[in-house]
Structure 1
Amino acid sequence: MKNLVLIDSHALIHRCYHALPNLTTPKNEPIGAVYGTIRILFKIIKELKPDYLAACFDLAEPTFRHKEYKEYKATRPKTDESLISQFDKVKQFFDAAKIKRFESKGYEADDLIGTLVKKFSAEKDLKIIILTGDLDTLQLVQDDKIVVYTMKKGFQDTIIYNETLVKERFEGLLPKQLVDFKALKGDPSDNILGVQGIGEKTAIELIKNFGSLENLYQTIEAPDFEKSEKAKLIKMKVLNLLKEQKESAFFSKYLATLDCNVPLEISLEELKLSDISKNDILPLLKEWRFESLINQLENRKEAEVAAINAEPKIEWLNLKDLVLDLNKKREIYLFSENEEIKILYENQYYRGSINKDFSQKIKNSQIIGFELKNFIKEIGVFNLIPYYDIQIAQWLINSEVKNFDLPKIWHLTFKKPLPNLPTLEIIKKIYQFQKEKIKELGLENVFYQIEMPLTSVLAEMEYFGIKIDKNYFKNITEEINQEIADISKKIFEITGKEFNLNSPKQLSDILFNQLKLNKKNLGKTPGGVLSTRENELIKIQDLHPIIPLILKHRELMKLKTTYLEPLPLLADKNSRIHTTYNQTGTATGRLSSENPNLQNIPSEGDWAKKIRKGFIAEDGYQFLGLDYSQIELRIAASLSQDPKMIQVFLENGDIHLLTAAEINNVSINEVTPEMRRQAKTLNFGVLYGMGAKAFSETASISKEEAKKFIEEYYHDFYKIREWQTKILNEAQQTGYVKTLSGRIRWVYDLISGNQKYKSLAERAAINFPIQGLAADIIKKTMIKIHNFIQKEGLENDIRLLLQIHDELIFEVKKDKLELTKEKIKKLMEENEFLTVPLKTKISFGDNLADLK
């Protein structure tokens, strides 16, 4: 059977742009996406061996979808100029390689691909493979004859979707039903609305039960529907949503369906892939200085060009045969994927399956690897083995950078594209350079004593997860749906007609054309329509009773779609949810959480309490929460040595009350709740370099009042200003700021001629020594508590589950709670950095809502 490969060039170039470092040509032109695209081209030529090949491109001008629906893809950020400039270079390379390419006015690359699939799918003994960076073309999949080849992460981890995998991915839906699925669920990436209020699970069930959108509506609109058996398959609230938003559903399907009838005159023979001539492509590779590709290309015959991305052949030994020399320092390079460990030790390669016995074999060895937290979870052993993770090390060196994959780490280290070397050899070379850089920058303490031990702690937290009550979440989802429906009804009674509350265009028309609300000082969308974003609606919330209702509707919809619906789906068979903690996600050293984000669980309001109540302790256990009190203000007092701030913390007083009294020139007894609220905003705002404009908006006061308060603050707490000035002066000299724990952050823009960038750098420089140290105090505490639990043999009695900002949440056996809570409190309040005491608040209960 012959292969036809169709490339969704636009999606592929986008994926490469965001996955690779910002490489540039000698002329300082961006080139990283071009490099990645060429690498993938040769990779797929080698792996898929296409007989025919075509590349399809989008054009910059609007498509027929944009003309029908101005908001189509309107939520996407504007394409970077540094990416736009690379599309022509990719086209130039395809032309040099004599690869046929297509683009057509009014159509997207996916439409062109759909047209080519339709044109050639009847060919006998021809398999069609669609290479793309997204899943929009899955609707074209047919058995094993038409498949989609795409990337799961970066562009190194690939997956080929045939019909079986599509059905697995979408819980039984056929490829052709995916447009019906999108018609109901919508597609946020393309701003396709669907039927608002219907999520993924409901959409899948509806299409599985009714086959298609057309059949669904034909059924529910039948006169005798309510008496039929089919009526039992749809809840009343879902039925109402479907009826209310029928037009949106069918229009969404229209937008999601690929147009497979683009006028293209082409024969299969014209797409035949000939041998790529080295002489045709080498000049471009040299012009763009793709040294690694050039070196390999010049040493190969033209027929072997397709193997340009191949990894060198390795002679592997069985991991069971690994014998370590106990009499010498042991550096083991490790990479794990798909439940297999790969090892480089003493210039010999080993591989084998992951098991707990391996952790005993490598005990007391230096383990050097990439994304080691995943490996630690896989072996399920959380002892603090001396690990060295090149990803975390690179983040400490370049904390402003995002997405530390191997190609990016290599580029940051050696300023060159990733070479053609085994992954373990790449890890080894990076490590050998990095360890000296860590030493040079004085990062040994924060890396070896904080970040690397923390990796095992986080792995264990992710491994255990936190339990939820699925039935409870199901019940409160029904409750919130009813509340949303009630609010919608009130809104429609005010407007006198129903409309799509989630459509910015329709909402804008209602507010400003029908209700004639004041438009003054309101922002606009990029398309020139008056904005209905939350911050804009808040400005006019007192003008009409409909605005608070709309804001409440949005709040409830967000809680529903962010927490109530997704969380039960993410729980494992034991009803536990396993978040992922990102060690390298922020420049300040703070941890972040994703899939799901458990650091953003709502904490204020009735619905926040209801959601938190659904997180429950295991039977026989209780939650124990310990929250640092005003840790960043205590750090500020200690670093600045401000006498008034130090005194209030030494006396266990109220810093916000003191600040309110000082800036208002009144006694503490005369401070009002409003004064204290403003003082609290100012206390934290000063730490972040907040200016008068931001303070006035946050505290709801005039800009003049805000300016006066800030001046008064710096007069009363003069040591704060002195310390901030000192920090800025030092940073201008060195280019970075540093915490007491040794963490650094680069602030080159302090000397920028661009005032916006300079101001951002000043705020970062002022805040980082405080926030970075707070992060490290909490991280060191987590490590101390982890060591305490293991030393005392309490692994089954105490589990650290969550870190939410300045709070640690544990799951503790009820009969151990009294014994351990004071010990943990003591560990958390141990203080090696500050001249003022650290204080924590203890709470406990059967669910998170009980922790106050």
Structure 2
Amino acid sequence: MADTSPPRSAPTLVLIDASGFIFRAYHAIPPLTTSKGVPTNAVLGFTRMVLKSLRDLKPTHVALAFDKESRVERQKIDPTYKANREGPPEDLVPQFALIRRVVEALNLPILEMPGWEADDVIGTLARKAKAEGFCVQVVTGDKDFIQIVDEDVRLFDPMKDVHTRPEDVKERLGIEPKQMRDYLALIGDAVDNVAKVPGIGPKTATELIQQFGDVDTLLSRLDEVKKPKIRENLASHRESLLRARQLVSFKTDLPLEVRVAELTRKELDATRARELFTELEFYALLKELPQAGQGGAPGASEPVKEKPAPLPTTTTLVTTDEELQALAQAVRAAGSVSLVPAYEGLPFAAKLVGLGVALPDASTRYVPLRHDVLGATQVRPDAFAAAFKAVLEDVAVKKGGHDLKALTLVLANEGIDLTGAHDDVELLSYLLNPSRREHALADLARERLVTELPALPPAAEGRRGKKDRALADHSPEELALGFAVRAEAARRLAPELWKELDEAKLSELAQKLELPLLPILARMERRGVSLDTQELARISVKVDAAVESQVKEVYKHAGREFNIGSNPQLVQVLFTDLKLPIIKRGKTGPSADQEVLEKLAEEHPLPNAIIEYRSLSKLKSTYLDTLPTLVAADGRIHTTYHQAATATGRLSSTDPNLQNIPVRTELGREIRRAFVAAPGHQLVSADYSQVELRLLAHIADDAVLVEAFRNDEDVHSRTAAEVFGVAPDQVDREQRRVAKMVNFGIAYGLSPHGLSTRLGIPQETARDIIERYFIRYAGIRRYLEETVNTARKTGYVETLYGRRRYMADLNSKNRGVAQAAERAAINMPIQGTAADLIKKAMLVVDEELRAQKLSTVLLLQVHDELLLEAPDAEVEQVKALVARGMAGVASLKVPLKVDVGAGKSWADAH
């Protein structure tokens, strides 16, 4: 690869086309807002681009150029210049000021000249810098800048990671950089309203430039142009061509009141940048900033918050039994402790390599247990368990940390049953902002403690590569500070998080629901569920045959064979071969996603065949092929539950994701048949019936829906009777199907368009059905309207138990984004309350099982269902216990109904 760096001896001036990149970043990144509703997609893209440019180009001098009243001077040449351009999008306008704040925080100079574009400012400064012996790197994605490229001026596009030198221009375009203005004049620019010469495109323009050199020579030798039409067009558009060249040519002699020497790169204002990135919720970018107190620019003009005390830079290793006993006594005396374990792999099977410990007096320790390094001084695991078992199992001693469920599982492998979980900063942070993607300890420390945590080996973070050492292959000294400081960071974070939870009235949710659930989930993960691999293999053979048959079905409807998994080939078949209508387009052409296929299925059988093929293939790859690989040594599958992952409060699971096994399809039931009870046991399934619809009736206080549930009616038949104006016993199957779709869809913001697509009916008919529904169910309409209006005022929606989800996108200027937020706002109080109910049910059922000293255990929680494993002798007792417990967790206007079953497999029990 050719060297693109400037000579080392020469100072380098980097000039950034700021105005160009603002718009480019805006269109490159999907709509993005902070939790307070501030649009930030352009700011994020712009900031990434600037940081990457500074990192890659390592300039000695730097400046950003902005447009300022930029059309004025060129419109003196041609009043129509850029006249066809609309103003910036509404959600981009407030981002301009934020971008200026980013530039100030990065301590970068801004250059602009009234009446002129950033292009002209850069052109002028590049010329001046060259004359003073600088190498110039222009950061831009605009091809117009090629006209100033030479041996001392190069271009860099950070979004494409492409450098442009004179030889690159020659290779890509076939012309010299200095000929670029003539080339641009010939082809024009529709975006800027610069007229082109009719009949001349890029290829012809290149040929003409190669033959004549420039526009002036071309016009003086028109008789040598071979094609008569081109010759005629050049002659008749002589004036507009010369005017176009004026418009596209950079002004390189602006009277800029700045000297290149004044643009020396300065250190960024790290404190201000950190505060701004935190405000904008650019958590990933915070990692790229220097630690607090490093690299700050002198003389920051804005006051900053008082810095937290620095985290410790050393820690104490606990290596003797006496030190171990002393630490255990100190923990008991303090009444609280923060713990972060060092382990590798899935927690349910992991061995404790070491333990980071932080006490309330801010002292820290690291307890090494299993460092497989020659000469490592450490304590014996049995000595650790003997010293710490009593204090860690004492509920009166409060435990803190990050992801206490993982800590619980790892300690269980040491024979310690952790109790007293209190300060789990991951869970506390999640409750404050459930829409946040993750709540990593390093991110929380960076944002709230304004500090970087010491780096850990890849093995500690679940990303060990082939060349990386196992965690146990590191010495205690290598790991001690990293884990001890993490324990101390978690300890310091907890009080502030609890304070914010108190202010948001979320503390009770943490104390009475989420934290008590933690040990139950740990026991469920540790127990796992048995998998009949032979049954799964039988199902897999059956599905292989179904996939093969479906492939033939696809080929039959397509009229030929093709690679079904190839999107370009599928697009070719659908839209070129079969000439089906293009519903929507993506970045690379017509879309063939699920929504498009569902619509096209109304016109041709192929799309539906594709949908069925995809469904079968996904189930096979996700479950049938994968589940056998996840069976542990005990013959059971141990899924991992995540409490801090979904915006609604629902639990999610991974390895495997059990939430996605289809509930109502035959294949989904077949897969459930492979989940079996241990010998002498049965699986007991308890499932809330229509819980979200019942919650909708309660929350909306709709009299008709409430009455239907109180009378234990078939609510879908009742809705069909209300909507279609017939007696309940006269409702036919199709009417009930429509009513069921409406009942379940309303809580998800079902629109006439959505109903028409799902049912294959005209949109007007769908609109009429929904309108009749709202006439009969006036309480539902009121709930939908009031929920969205209230959320717009408060900024959030809540469940019956106070769980919040912030809805910043409700005020987005992007209508699609706002509508999606409206649907989420309508659904969250219902789905979120359903999540709260199933969690409350888990607490009640687990407590009752323990109170009655039963051997039955909770195994899985999926959607609105609990799955338990019970000895044969306890099955009937447990069925009654769980039905009673789940039905009694809340007192609503409608009864909670629970369907309970038992059997040797999950399919039999469900």
Q: Same fold (TM over 0.5)?
A: yes
Report the 3-state secondary structure (helix = DSSP H, G, I; strand = E; otherwise coil) of the residue aligned with 2:758: helix
Instruction: Call closer, same or farther: CA 1:542–1:763 in 2, change over 3 Å.
Output: closer
- For residues 403-482 of structure 1, the aligned pairs below 5 Å read 403-411=438-446, 413=448, 416=450, 418=452, 422-482=485-545
Determine whether 1:787 maps to 2:847: yes
- For residues 144-223 of structure 1, the aligned pairs below 5 Å read none
Distance in 2 (alpha carbons) for counterparts of 1:836 and 1:543? 43
Instruction: Call closer, same or farther: CA 1:721–1:793 in 2, change over 3 Å.
Output: same
Q: C-alpha offsets along residues 528-556 of structure 1, whole Å, 9 cap, x if unaligned?
A: 2x444343334344655555544433332
Q: C-alpha offsets along residues 625-666 of structure 1, whole Å, 9 cap, x if unaligned?
A: 011011122222222322222222222222222111111121
What is the aligned partner in structure 1 of residue 732 from structure 2? 672
Q: C-alpha offsets along residues 298-357 of structure 1, whole Å, 9 cap, x if unaligned?
A: 79xxxxxxxxx9971212335443234699761211111222221112433233347765
Mean Cα deviation higher: 371-380 or 737-746: 737-746
Distance in 2 (alpha carbons) for counterparts of 1:24 and 1:718? 35
Task: Give the aligned residue type for 2:431.
Answer: L
Determine whether 1:400 maps to 2:430: no
Mean Cα deviation higher: 487-496 or 810-819: 487-496
Task: Give the aligned residue type for 2:520.
Answer: V
Distance in 1 (alpha carbons) for counterparts of 2:55 and 2:529? 40
What is the aligned partner in structure 1 of residue 357 from structure 2? 343
Instruction: Call closer, same or farther: CA 1:365–1:489 in 2, change over 3 Å.
Output: same
Mean Cα deviation higher: 803-812 or 824-833: 824-833
What is the aligned partner in structure 2 of residue 312 from structure 1? 313
Report the 3-state secondary structure (helix = DSSP H, G, I; strand = E; otherwise coil) of the residue aligned with 1:843: strand
Determine whether 1:586 maps to 2:616: no
- For residues 486-635 of structure 1, the aligned pairs below 5 Å read 486-489=549-552, 498-513=561-576, 516-528=577-589, 530-541=590-601, 546-635=606-695
Distance in 2 (alpha carbons) for counterparts of 1:782 and 1:667? 40
Report the 3-state secondary structure (helix = DSSP H, G, I; strand = E; otherwise coil) of the residue aligned with 1:293: coil
Pick one of 258, 261, 267 that aligns with 1:283: 267
What is the aligned partner in structure 2 of residue 390 from structure 1? 425
Determine whether 1:802 maps to 2:860: yes
Report the 3-state secondary structure (helix = DSSP H, G, I; strand = E; otherwise coil) of the residue aligned with 2:869: strand
What is the aligned partner in structure 2 of residue 153 from structure 1? none
Q: C-alpha offsets along residues 795-822 of structure 1, whole Å, 9 cap, x if unaligned?
A: xx21211111111111111111012210
Report the 3-state secondary structure (helix = DSSP H, G, I; strand = E; otherwise coil) of the residue aligned with 2:358: strand
Distance in 1 (alpha carbons) for counterparts of 2:329 and 2:48? 42
Task: Give the aligned residue type for 1:586.
Answer: T
Instruction: Call closer, same or farther: CA 1:313–1:103 in 2, change over 3 Å.
Output: farther
Instruction: Tell me how far 1:448 sits from its aligned partner.
Output: 0.5
Mean Cα deviation higher: 381-390 or 493-502: 493-502
Distance in 2 (alpha carbons) for counterparts of 1:470 and 1:40? 52
What is the aligned partner in structure 1 of residue 771 from structure 2? 711
Distance in 2 (alpha carbons) for counterparts of 1:36 and 1:107? 12
Q: What is the TM-score when the length of structure 1 is the normalising length?
A: 0.63
C-alpha contact (below 8 Å) 2:356/2:486 kept by paired residues: no
Distance in 2 (alpha carbons) for counterparts of 1:845 and 1:298? 65
Distance in 2 (alpha carbons) for counterparts of 1:525 and 1:38? 29
C-alpha contact (below 8 Å) 2:268/2:295 kept by paired residues: no
Task: Give the aligned residue type for 2:660.
Answer: N
Distance in 2 (alpha carbons) for counterparts of 1:496 and 1:680? 37
Pick one of 671, 695, 702 that aligns with 1:642: 702
Task: Give the aligned residue type for 2:443.
Answer: K
Q: C-alpha offsets along residues 536-583 of structure 1, whole Å, 9 cap, x if unaligned?
A: 334344655555544433332222111111110111122211111111
Task: Give the aligned residue type for 2:726.
Answer: V
- Identical-pair percentage: 29
- For residues 27-106 of structure 1, the aligned pairs below 5 Å read none
Instruction: Call closer, same or farther: CA 1:815–1:38 in 2, change over 3 Å.
Output: farther
Instruction: Tell me how far 1:511 sits from its aligned partner.
Output: 4.4
Pick one of 381, 391, 403 that aligns with 1:361: 391
What is the aligned partner in structure 2 of residue 773 from structure 1? 833
Q: C-alpha offsets along residues 76-115 of structure 1, whole Å, 9 cap, x if unaligned?
A: xxxxx99x9999x99x9xx99xxxxx999999999xxxxx
Q: What is the TM-score when the length of structure 2 is the normalising length?
A: 0.60
Instruction: Call closer, same or farther: CA 1:714–1:356 in 2, change over 3 Å.
Output: farther
Mean Cα deviation higher: 765-774 or 576-585: 765-774
Task: Give the aligned residue type for 2:863.
Answer: H
C-alpha contact (below 8 Å) 2:860/2:866 kept by paired residues: yes
Instruction: Call closer, same or farther: CA 1:810–1:702 in 2, change over 3 Å.
Output: same
What is the aligned partner in structure 2 of residue 826 from structure 1? 884
Task: Give the aligned residue type for 1:842.
Answer: V
Instruction: Call closer, same or farther: CA 1:693–1:329 in 2, change over 3 Å.
Output: farther
Report the 3-state secondary structure (helix = DSSP H, G, I; strand = E; otherwise coil) of the residue aligned with 1:844: strand
Instruction: Call closer, same or farther: CA 1:36–1:361 in 2, change over 3 Å.
Output: farther
Task: Give the aligned residue type for 1:293.
Answer: P
Distance in 1 (alpha carbons) for counterparts of 2:655 and 2:54? 30
Instruction: Call closer, same or farther: CA 1:552–1:728 in 2, change over 3 Å.
Output: closer
Instruction: Call closer, same or farther: CA 1:281–1:450 in 2, change over 3 Å.
Output: farther
Instruction: Call closer, same or farther: CA 1:831–1:563 in 2, change over 3 Å.
Output: closer
C-alpha contact (below 8 Å) 2:332/2:397 kept by paired residues: no
Instruction: Tell me how far 1:385 sits from its aligned partner.
Output: 2.5
Distance in 1 (alpha carbons) for counterparts of 2:799 and 2:554? 52
- For residues 701-740 of structure 1, the aligned pairs below 5 Å read 701-740=761-800
What is the aligned partner in structure 1 of residue 290 from structure 2? 293
C-alpha contact (below 8 Å) 1:319/1:350 kept by paired residues: no
Report the 3-state secondary structure (helix = DSSP H, G, I; strand = E; otherwise coil) of the residue aligned with 2:645: coil
Structure 2 spans left out of the alignment, 5+ residues: 1-28, 59-94, 109-134, 137-153, 163-262, 276-288, 297-309, 344-351, 370-380, 455-481
Instruction: Call closer, same or farther: CA 1:346–1:321 in 2, change over 3 Å.
Output: same
Distance in 2 (alpha carbons) for counterparts of 1:406 and 1:37? 25
Task: Give the aligned residue type for 1:434.
Answer: L
Distance in 1 (alpha carbons) for counterparts of 2:695 and 2:333? 43
Instruction: Tell me how far 1:383 sits from its aligned partner.
Output: 6.4
Distance in 2 (alpha carbons) for counterparts of 1:729 and 1:523? 31
Distance in 2 (alpha carbons) for counterparts of 1:453 and 1:716? 42
Report the 3-state secondary structure (helix = DSSP H, G, I; strand = E; otherwise coil) of the residue aligned with 2:685: strand
Distance in 1 (alpha carbons) for counterparts of 2:559 and 2:782? 60
Distance in 2 (alpha carbons) for counterparts of 1:751 and 1:547? 36
Distance in 2 (alpha carbons) for counterparts of 1:333 and 1:807? 34
Task: Give the aligned residue type for 1:666.
Answer: V
Number of matched pairs: 607
C-alpha contact (below 8 Å) 1:366/1:387 kept by paired residues: yes
Instruction: Tell me how far 1:687 sits from its aligned partner.
Output: 1.8
Mean Cα deviation higher: 820-829 or 762-771: 762-771
Report the 3-state secondary structure (helix = DSSP H, G, I; strand = E; otherwise coil) of the residue aligned with 2:328: coil
Distance in 1 (alpha carbons) for counterparts of 2:54 and 2:440? 16
What is the aligned partner in structure 1 of residue 722 from structure 2? 662
Instruction: Call closer, same or farther: CA 1:710–1:356 in 2, change over 3 Å.
Output: farther
Instruction: Tell me how far 1:846 sits from its aligned partner.
Output: 1.1
Distance in 1 (alpha carbons) for counterparts of 2:666 and 2:696? 34
Distance in 1 (alpha carbons) for counterparts of 2:574 and 2:332? 78
Q: Larger radius of gyration, structure 1 or 2?
A: 2
